[in-house]
Structure 1
Amino acid sequence: MKIAEIREMSTADLAERIEAEKANLQQVVLNHAISPLENPAEIKSLRRAIARMISDLRQRELNNK
């Protein structure tokens, strides 16, 4: 997910998306532990996408104060 897409989302939608992506990451990591993924770099990209979303959400919180 690109930063432009993240910034277009509302704060509530972003918070929901973060939770959904965290659950998805846990599932992918669990699946990878059971049987290796074809592309293990997918885990890295999911973690970075979650970090981008969390960073943008935190920036919004700081700007609203």
Structure 2
Amino acid sequence: MKNSEIKALTVEQLKQTLVEEQDRLLKLKFAHAVSPIENPMRIRNTRRLIARLMTELSAKDKAASA
């Protein structure tokens, strides 16, 4: 998901996507612990996507309260 796509999301869509990505990260970590997954870079990419979503969510919250 690109930054421009993230910026276009509403607050509710950001929260929903964030929950989905956190769930995906948890499943990836469990799968990798049991047996190494084919592409471990997916864990890093998912973590970074979660960080971008959280950053945009906090920016929108800050803008709404100001």
Q: Which TM-score bucket, shorter chain as reference?
A: over 0.9
Give me the identity figure in percent: 32
Cα offsets for 1:16-62 (capped at 9, x unmatched): 11001100100010000001011111100000000000000000011
Tell me the TM-score normalized by structure 2: 0.94
The within-5 A match list for 1:1-65 is 1-65=1-65
Q: Matches of 1:41 and 1:23 in 2, distance apart?
A: 17
Tell me the TM-score normalized by structure 1: 0.96
RMSD: 0.6
Q: Matches of 2:58 and 2:3 in 1, distance apart?
A: 14
Runs of 4+ in 1 over 2 A off after TM superposition: none
Tell me which amino acid in the other structure corresponds to 2:16.
E
Aligned residues: 65
Instruction: Return 5+ residue gaps in structure 1 as ranges.
Output: none
Q: Matches of 1:8 and 1:2 in 2, distance apart?
A: 10
